Amino acid sequence: MSPDQRFFDYLKQRIGLDVASVGPAIIERAVRQRCIALDMADNDRYWQRLLSSQEEQQALIESVIVPETWFFRYPESFATLGRLARQRLAEIGSRRALRILSLPCSTGEEPYSIAMALFDAGFAAHQFKVDALDVSPLSVQRAQNALYGKNSFRGQPTDFRERYFSAENDGYQLSERVCAQVSFTAGNLLDPILLASREPYDFVFCRNLLIYFDLKTQQQALDVLKRLTRDDGVLFIGPAEGSLLSRLGMRSIGAPQSFAFCHSPEPVPAANPVLAEFKPLLRPQPPTPLPPAANRPFAPRPKAHVAPKAAPKPASKTEEPMVLLEQIATLANEGKSQEARAVCEQFLQRHDPQAEVFYWLGLLSDVQGQTAEAQGFYRKALYLEPQHSEALAHLAALLASQGDTAGAQRLHERAARNGRSAPSERKQ
């Protein structure tokens, strides 16, 4: 066993992290950072400190976890939540409040988005409550402080910031009205008694977590998520996790771009529910009547007429690749699949191929149920950048969802070998 393998195994045991999903280089870098911080010359000394100190154990976990979230990420899912929540409230009446869970909640953007979406949908404070949980106490503390910088506001119109935040120094402080709706706790999804004393939730948000687990841990985590979700409840997951949930006995509710699943009495073939969720994206759809403005999530305020702004200065030739990559990410996360694809093609026509572009093309194909095309794009990304952690994770999950356990395992082994031999580390 190599010295680094000890740390891989430790993180797998503690938080379920599969080294192949992020790349060994990320974990090795975190260990080096902790050794430097503690003025330790080698991994052996640090390993002994790790085993004897709960504080250091948490410090290593914090070094590996890199929060990447913002308000109203995947906006269609919050619109779907508002619609489903109104239906559920009509069923239960005044017997109890709606119960929603967000995990991992990171620094709080998702659970607070849930609360703001329900307020915008016309709910009163006494009609719902949001619980939020994360393995990182530091992230939980930041979430409770509810002070956010500009990076937390991206990807969509930010009119909600005017309604729920106040400017403070270089950031934005969330209103007490929203903060009061969310209760934060530090905890681990893989804890078998997690929230065991709580009643199941009407809605559970657990997005982009399962792709960082191996097959066994994915099943373990999903068993917990099923227990936490009411039999008539809904589980919201990440875009690339749909085929996994379908294979493990849950089915899509068919809400486009919402990535929402419910309990299924029988295991459903993987292809059908995934295509059911994304099929409306493959052809034009008739417009859906909007609810009254007072009840419509994210209703923009009327704007006064202003003179047109001068056209922005075109990006230089050296800046354009980064600008295009940012456009792709923004469009994809807004659910604008065709527009995101168009920018990908624009990038490939103007610049040398980049792994990140093929990764996005793979993800866009993946969520539309085009699995063969998705595999091809993921493999192109990995050809250009063998240690691309997201492409590794999504391709492994895709193979596993198709029942190709051996193929997924080979990919994990290849990723581990490539990560240990890579001369440089991929920027995260």
Tens digit of pLDDT for each residue in 14-50?
888 887 777 788 888 889 999 999 999 888 999 999 9
Model confidence at 190, pLDDT cuts 50, 70, 90, reads confident
In a domain, 182, yes or no: yes
In a domain, 293, yes or no: no
Q: Domain end: 251, 279, 307, which one? A: 279
Model confidence at 318, pLDDT cuts 50, 70, 90, reads low
In a domain, 193, yes or no: yes
In a domain, 298, yes or no: no
What pLDDT was estimated at residue 275? Answer: 34
Model confidence at 370, pLDDT cuts 50, 70, 90, reads confident
Domain count, the chain: 3
The Cα–Cα gap between 214 and 220 comes to: 10
The Cα–Cα gap between 376 and 258 comes to: 25
Same domain, 112 and 231: yes
Same domain, 80 and 40: no
Is the pLDDT confidence value at 247 over 60? yes
What pLDDT was estimated at residue 161? Answer: 94
What pLDDT was estimated at residue 42? Answer: 87
In a domain, 236, yes or no: yes
Same domain, 134 and 191: yes
Instruction: Tell the residue number behind the tokens 């308000």, with chain if given.
Output: 71
The Cα–Cα gap between 387 and 422 comes to: 8
pLDDT tens for 132-151 read: 999 989 899 999 999 999 88
- Show Cβ contacts of residue 18 under 8 Å, excluding neighbours closer than 6 positions: 12, 212, 213, 214, 217, 412
Residue 411 CB coordination number (10 Å)? 23
pLDDT tens for 257-300 read: 788 999 876 444 433 333 334 333 332 333 333 333 333 333 33
Same domain, 262 and 141: yes
Structure tokens at 363: 């993800």
pLDDT tens for 96-126 read: 999 999 999 999 999 999 999 999 999 999 9
What pLDDT was estimated at residue 66? Answer: 67
In a domain, 308, yes or no: no
Mean pLDDT comparison of 2-11, 84-93, 210-219, 240-249, highest-scoring range: 84-93
In a domain, 291, yes or no: no
Strands 171-174 and 147-148: antiparallel
Strands 98-102 and 128-134: parallel
- Tell me the mean pLDDT in the region 45-59: 91
pLDDT tens for 221-233 read: 888 999 999 999 9
Is the pLDDT confidence value at 335 over 80? no
What pLDDT was estimated at residue 235? Answer: 95
Model confidence at 389, pLDDT cuts 50, 70, 90, reads confident
CATH number of the domain at 382, please. 1.25.40.10
Q: Domain end: 64, 83, 101, which one? A: 64
Q: Quote the percentage of the chain above a pLDDT of 70.
A: 80
Model confidence at 416, pLDDT cuts 50, 70, 90, reads low
Same domain, 51 and 167: no
What pLDDT was estimated at residue 280? Answer: 33
Query: Considering only 153-167, 190-204, 303-317, 385-399, which range has the smallest mean pLDDT?
Result: 303-317
> Where in the sequence is the domain holding 15, given as residue range(s)?
3-64
pLDDT tens for 288-306 read: 333 333 333 333 333 333 4
- Tell me the mean pLDDT in the region 312-341: 77
Model confidence at 164, pLDDT cuts 50, 70, 90, reads very high
Write out the H or E segment, with its range, that includes residue 56. helix 54-64
Same domain, 60 and 135: no
Write out the H or E segment, with its range, that includes residue 93. none
Q: Higher-confidence residue: 2 or 19?
A: 19
What pLDDT was estimated at residue 297? Answer: 35
The Cα–Cα gap between 137 and 278 comes to: 36
Same domain, 25 and 166: no
- Cβ distance 101 to 228 under 8 Å? yes
- Tell me the mean pLDDT in the region 311-338: 75
What pLDDT was estimated at residue 294? Answer: 34
Residue 68 CB coordination number (10 Å)? 11
> Taking the CA atoms of the chain, what radius of gyration do you get in angstroms?
22
Same domain, 83 and 56: no
Same domain, 205 and 96: yes
Q: Domain end: 16, 36, 64, which one? A: 64
- Tell me the mean pLDDT in the region 49-68: 86
Same domain, 125 and 254: yes
Structure tokens at 173: 């402080």
- Cβ distance 186 to 134 under 8 Å? yes
User: How many angstroms separate the first and last alpha carbons of the chain?
Assistant: 27
Model confidence at 163, pLDDT cuts 50, 70, 90, reads very high
Cα 233 to chain centroid distance, Å, stands at 20
CA angle at 51 for the pair 45 and 57, rounded to the nearest 5°: 105
- Cβ distance 133 to 102 under 8 Å? yes
Q: Which parts of 334-404 fold into alpha helices (H)?
A: 337-350, 355-367, 371-384, 389-401
- Cβ distance 240 to 397 under 8 Å? yes
Same domain, 124 and 47: no
In a domain, 313, yes or no: no
CATH number of the domain at 95, please. 3.40.50.150
What pLDDT was estimated at residue 417? Answer: 54
Same domain, 56 and 98: no
Is the pLDDT confidence value at 254 over 80? yes
| Per-position b or e across 73-101, b if 16+ CB within 10 A of its CB | bbbbbbbbbbebbbebbeeeeeeebbbbb
